[in-house]
Amino acid sequence: AYIAKLKVDLSPREAARYIRGRWVEIRSEFIYFEYDSKEQYRAAVDYQVVPNSPVHLTFDFNIGLGKPMSCALFQYIGDDFHVFAESVIEGARTADLIEDLDARGLLVKGERRYEINGDAAGKHRDTRSSRSDYDIIQQELAGRGIKFEYNVPLANPPIRTRHNRVNAYCKNDNGKRRLFIYKGCKVADEGMRLTSLKKGAGYVEDDSKAFQHITTAIGYGIVTTLQRQTSKRQGTVQL
């Protein structure tokens, strides 16, 4: 049973090393080496939001040339992640992301519920204001009458943990893919294909590429959502 669970939770490369004892190199030129755009990027498909399941808004906050503020929208259905919208705006204020989502009809009043995920550092400061990023996001959503729940951890997960979890959802050792990207998310697809580590800097992401930041936001959302599911099964409180 333990081995069966590992095969679900590990990518094929991780499983080759940690289950079958093969001395294989896990690192690759690109971070998300299990992502297959042909299999996982549904460029011509308009995603249909599943009622009664929350829409996650997950953020990565940045400022500077080539480092856009980034937000991805996804649903977690069954054990699959469906990334169906993105907002990537260089030089934007935090509120600009919410304004962009609202203008595109992605924020729906009524029974639709939203869950806020993302970069834990956003609790402490905003790139343009004395308020925190999440203070601004919650105020913007509340002002629009949007129902939401705040679920951001106290600290971000280790980088390697985040990468491993995303890779396992791109493809696990059973060959199952559980992460899909839909029409209108060209930056997310590009980031999943091309995000790499910074050369000569140890295990650090190369954040000089604009497409990297949306993948980081997606990774934060995936890890936080899975941690919450584990907490619910164990009957513990998610902080």
- pLDDT 10s digits, 157-206: 999 999 999 999 999 999 999 999 999 999 999 999 999 998 876 788 99
What pLDDT score was predicted for residue 230?
81
Separation CA 222–CA 237 (nearest Å): 18
Nearest to 53 by CA among 84, 17, 28: 84
What pLDDT score was predicted for residue 75?
98
Nearest to 60 by CA among 131, 103, 120: 120
Q: Residue 108, SS3?
A: coil
Separation CA 190–CA 163 (nearest Å): 16
pTM of the full predicted structure? 0.92
**pLDDT beneath 70, residues of the chain:** 26-27, 124-130, 201, 236-239
**Core vs surface per residue 21-32: b (16+ CB within 10 A) or e:** eeeeeeeeeebb
What pLDDT score was predicted for residue 238?
46
What pLDDT score was predicted for residue 128?
52
Torsion of CA 53, 108, 85, 158, to 10 degrees: -60
